[in-house]
Structure 1
Amino acid sequence: MSGSDLAPFVAAVLKDSTMHEMINEIDVLQSKLTDRDNKRLLVEVTGQHGSPIYYEESLKNIKQFGDDEIVLGFDNDGSSDGFPFSSLDKIEIRLGGVVVQRFNIDDLDIHFEDDLYDEENQMETILLDINRRHLYGPIVCVDARIKPLPLGLRQGHTGDEMLLTDFFELVADENNELAPQTFIIKALFFDEKDIAGVPDLPV
């Protein structure tokens, strides 16, 4: 068989090899793009300067809530260790690695959901509403749990709502500052218009 007879076979082999290389390169590029998008849409609840990371979830998993809010739930059943409630002002909310919100305890109201009180674990479900939102970021409310609730502040004794600073004063008096509360985040509520510019959101 002459060289000219082999030429078509060699060309076919080279073509197949080139196609495989191109497909592999496309797969690698697609993987990098997916990783980049995942990082860009990642919401993290962290300590100062990004460490430690307490919670993380993708904005791909947000859901519509009412007419102008969206909610991002965290995949925990309340078993998360959480963090000390009194350290809330040191917590950072990050989107794509960038800090988008911090909490000022002077501008937070705490609402008690007494009908969801967990007597066995002394755990209260609460909502934190953020006042003067224009000073902070896209989050309007935090759905969370705190534990343990001091004896004098348990179900039926807390009232409906109060300033968070007032709650901290009551807890300090009740506990003599010996038993800090653990804060466990269940979900973050965002003002939809404040993150409307983020591409690829499902709502």
Structure 2
Amino acid sequence: MSRGKLFVISAPSGAGKTSLCNKLLAKYPERLRYSISFTTREPRVGEVDGEDYFFISERKFKEMIDNEEFLEWAVVHGNYYGTSKQVIEKHLNDGYDVILDIDPQGARQIKNKFLDAVFIFIVAPSIKELKNRLINRRTESMEKINLRLKNALEEIKFFKMYDYLIINRFLNVAFEELDAIYRAEHLKTKDIDDIEKIVDLEV
């Protein structure tokens, strides 16, 4: 079984990243896995520990940093987020592709360690639309929403660090683009060592 591919996906809060990733995971359940991050932030309504995130204390998070258990970690919106080295490597070595949902700080760290990873950045069509989506979620105060908008303007500056840019005007169109990227990445000749394994060359 060949090693899986790592797909690093970033987006400002409210751009629709979670919905798009979930649709891709639902389409390819037999070959695609989602990397569940560790975080010190409080769960939102409906979030489940071990499914959406591993919710841990700041003290525990710092212990994991000291033990070098993270592939990458960062402080975002005042909370710690990190990706487990062990979980990612196990999925990839078992032949599964992995979606890694992280911010540009984390993506930069990954880029230096996984030269063959695929980097995708997702944005809303405008900051006004992003603000409306965050307000309509009704999960945070205006103070936190304004902080997210401020951070979004900073995060967007890093889009050139990514291989692909998806503008999420309409979810179905954005998903078609994400799906096309995923499928195209599995058709690259550089990843095919022996064509006889996939093409019958007998005359």
When normalised by structure 2's length, the TM-score is 0.23
**Which of 1 and 2 has greater Rg?**
1
More helix by share: 2
More strand by share: 1
